[in-house]
Structure 1
Amino acid sequence: MYDARAEDARVLELAILGFLYEQPLHGYELKRRVAHLTGHVRPIADGTLYPAIKRLERAGWLGRRTEPGSRAAPRHTLTLTDDGREELRRRLREADDVDISDENRWFTVLAFLRHLQAPAEQADVLRRRLTFLREPSSFFYDYGTGGERPLGPEAFDDPFRRGVLTIARAASEAELSWLTTTLKDLETR
């Protein structure tokens, strides 16, 4: 059964690991970066971010160092441990089907995919997304006697459903083009 809360926590943890792979950050700076990447979907609450940070610390993937603050309170800087770096790379290499198929989760994977050092590993993840995008799909289906058949924008008089499908098709075509070009580039490295 799909557990939305657990899946949200997984993508949040991936974003935390990814941003800290790039540089140590204070909690509020990390929150701002995560919100810019994923917050357009759902804002990041302190009650979500800080428990995720604690989980990653307990797992040994994050460290914390205290620095003097500009005021009286000290500031805590979060850092990624060597084990945390490997965990990020593992999660990127082993992105699951939902990471590949859900657009928001995919963008989080894609934002940090450069941290996989081997072009072949990067290409493997991109090929999985390419395979997913090439599968016939739609938001709307004909459930006639022939089974489920995806419907395109031309099947609707409703301008709003046509709009949904036209926009989705254009985005999909742009992504397919980008994936094909990027895979060719990675295969020559």
Structure 2
Amino acid sequence: MLELSILGFLSEEPLHGYELKERIKALSGHVRPVSDGALYPAITRLVDAGKLDQRTAPGSSAAPRRILSLTDRGREDLLERLRHPKQAEITDQVRFNTLLAFLRHLPDRQEQAAVLRRRLDFLRTPASFFYRDGEPVRAEDSGDLFREGMLRVARATGEAERAWLTEAITRLEAAAP
């Protein structure tokens, strides 16, 4: 997801490393903070793969800054990642939010709707944080005030997300040629 975030933010405008890190942190840093030890090697991999260009520009103080921008190859990679997200990017809430943050860059509304449909299908599958005899435990049957809270909040969040996904898919399909 780090590479998707890098490609996604740089598809919007060239940035230097610190600005890029701050945007990634704002997107998911409270849940999964990004360290320099992860960010800068990922940037190097993308530069080496020809997906990012970098140039040096004068810094606001004495040190020069590396300005990063997306190449055509990087844009193609971004679009491919958006068209065909991995299953974990559909099922994990933080990863899905990262995908959602950049899905607008996918120009085909039907392809956008297909990604949302995958998430909606996942959310329609009965699940729980807790199981008893192989069956999902419902909030009302948890027997634990705190687990009940977790399950009730998850259910409400899931209902809201399913409603939004259904609405968004309908709007995308209505607008598609």
Relative to the length of structure 1, the TM-score reads 0.91
Give the structure 1 partner of residue 14 of structure 2: 24
Say whether residues 1:14 and 2:4 are aligned partners: yes
Give aligned pairs, total: 175
Give the structure 1 partner of residue 162 of structure 2: 176
Q: Report the RMSD for the aligned CA atoms in angstroms.
A: 0.8
Matched residue type, 2:93: E
Matched residue SS, 2:7: helix
Give the structure 2 partner of residue 125 of structure 1: 115
Deviation for aligned residue 1:88: 0.4
Deviation for aligned residue 1:102: 0.5
Give the structure 1 partner of residue 45 of structure 2: 55
Q: 2-side partners of 1:23 and 1:79: how far apart?
A: 7
Give the structure 2 partner of residue 76 of structure 1: 66
- Following TM superposition, the consecutive aligned residue runs of length 4 or more in structure 1 with deviations greater than 4 angstroms are none
Cα deviation code 1:105-164 (max 9, x no counterpart): 000000000000010010000000000000011111121xxxx21111010221100001
Matched residue SS, 2:59: coil
Cα deviation code 1:8-29 (max 9, x no counterpart): xxx1111000000111001000
Give 1:27-176 correspondences, 5 Å limit.
Answer: 27-143=17-133, 148-176=134-162
Matched residue SS, 1:188: helix
Matched residue type, 1:170: A
Deviation for aligned residue 1:72: 2.5
Give the structure 2 partner of residue 8 of structure 1: none
Q: 2-side partners of 1:157 and 1:73: how far apart?
A: 59
Matched residue SS, 2:107: coil
Task: Identify which of structures 1 and 2 has the higher relative contact order when contacts are C-alpha pairs closer than 8 Å and 6+ apart.
Answer: 2
Give the unaligned 5+ runs of structure 1.
1-10
Matched residue SS, 1:79: strand
Give the structure 2 partner of residue 186 of structure 1: 172
Cα deviation code 1:19-76 (max 9, x no counterpart): 0011100100000000111111122111110000001111110000111222322111
Q: 1-side partners of 2:129 and 2:63: how far apart?
A: 51
Q: 2-side partners of 1:61 and 1:47: how far apart?
A: 20
Give the unaligned 5+ runs of structure 2.
none
